[in-house]
Amino acid sequence: MDNQNTDTLAVYRLTLHVSLVRSILLLHCGKMAFIYNPQFLSCLHMPTIPKFHEVFIPMLTVLSADGELRREELKRRIRDEFYADLPEELLSQRTSTGHVLIMNRMGWAVSYLKKGKFVAQPKRGYVQITDKGRVALATKKLSLKDLKNDPDYLAADLEKHSDRDTKDSLIPTADETPQDLIDQGFATIRDGLMADLLERLKTIDPFYFEKVILILLKKMGYGDFVETKKTGDGGIDGIINQDQLGIEKIYIQAKRYSENKVREKDIRNFIGAMSGDTTKGVFVTTSLFDEAAVKKAKEAHHKIILIDGYKLTDLMFQFGVGVQTTSVYELKELDEDFFDNS
């Protein structure tokens, strides 16, 4: 084989490999089990929310042009001038405590820059660039490593935490803010709980599983429910009355499968069992739906909602079904409005 054909084959193989990776990624993202991994996404050149230290230079840039700004206005300006091209789902992403994530990271950036004397607080609620900040801006260089080695930053932390043995624990050791670390810990605990919950659901009595689904839907606000006769024939497992007279009904089918996927035949039987009494149904399983089943539900004249194992445990987590709260932590922040009239 000549060199030209060899090169062509190599390019073809590379293109095929990239296409396969993208296909796997898209397929994986379509599952409820997809885990957001910023490092992985950055390797694929996909947009991510900036880390707190990546906001340092943009923050100093905005402050250099405007002198001083209110803290919230500063964060809005940075978002609009430097990150407006990020997808809306990233710009609106929230922390576990309900704050907008990108704004939260900017808030931490202000705190770190203030400790390093790159910015100052000339008056309550305002942020201003310092001469030191202008020097850093002129070099366009202010990284996390620079901050970790900055004498002013180290001195501020050592003064505040003089009882600590080492300075390494007083400064950010990675890309994450304290809020990021809290969110990551929360997500790890949540993922582990949901995995345990799904495994437990797969082992309980099938009839009790049907009751669990009805309890969940009740907690979600779908009205009174009626359990149907337990025949085990794949018919209707329960009925939700959306009004007190039972005029509007939602039929429920629950399949507790360990491995098998729900098939098109199961959806067809479910639709048939509804027998004209209603046009609304919810089909729940601890496993997954195969492609034919999903297609059948979409093309049906009835409104059929499919809930797989991942979605089911997510809903149970949200509405407190089969789980209990063991610890509650309160995070507090400065209330600037409280001091506005002082």
Residue 279 vs residues 216, 251, 304: alpha-carbon distances, Å: 21, 9, 8
Q: How do the domains of the chain map onto residue ranges?
A: 52-176, 205-319
Q: Give the per-residue pLDDT at 174.
A: 61
What is the Cα 142 distance to its own chain's centre? 29
DSSP 8-state code for residue 305: E
Domain 205-319 sits in CATH 3.40.50.740: no
Whole-angstrom distance, CA of residue 115 vs CA of residue 40:
31
**Tens digits of per-residue pLDDT, 277-289?**
778 899 999 999 9
Q: Give the per-residue pLDDT at 117.
A: 92
Q: Give the per-residue pLDDT at 99.
A: 83
Q: Give the per-residue pLDDT at 31.
A: 37
Amino acid at site 155: A
Domain 52-176 sits in CATH 1.10.10: yes
In tens digits, what is the pLDDT along the chain, a chain of 342 residues? 444 444 444 434 444 444 444 443 444 443 333 334 444 444 445 788 999 899 999 999 999 998 889 989 999 999 999 999 999 999 999 887 778 899 989 988 998 898 899 999 888 789 999 999 999 999 988 988 898 889 988 887 676 555 544 444 445 556 677 777 788 778 878 888 888 899 889 989 988 898 898 889 888 888 666 666 555 444 577 788 766 666 678 889 999 988 889 999 999 999 888 777 778 899 999 999 999 999 999 998 889 999 999 999 999 999 999 998 877 777 777 776 677 665
Total length of the chain: 342
Helix (H, G, I), strand (E, B) or coil at 117: coil
Q: Give the per-residue pLDDT at 127.
A: 93
Q: Give the per-residue pLDDT at 189.
A: 81
Whole-angstrom distance, CA of residue 102 vs CA of residue 83:
10
pTM here is: 0.56
Q: Which residue has the tokens 């932590």?
A: 329
Nearest-5° Cα angle at 140, 138 to 144: 130
User: Which pairing describes strands 126-129 and 303-307: parallel, antiparallel, or unpaired?
Assistant: unpaired
What is the secondary structure of 160-203 as a DSSP string? Answer: HTTT-S-SGGGS--SS--HHHHHHHHHHHHHHHHHHHHHHHHTT
Q: Give the per-residue pLDDT at 223.
A: 66
Q: Give the per-residue pLDDT at 45.
A: 56
Q: Give the per-residue pLDDT at 266.
A: 93
Beta carbons within 8 Å of 46's beta carbon, 6+ residues apart: none
Nearest-5° Cα angle at 46, 43 to 49: 105
DSSP 8-state code for residue 301: S
Q: Give the per-residue pLDDT at 321.
A: 93
Q: Which two tokens stand for residue 16?
A: 């095929």
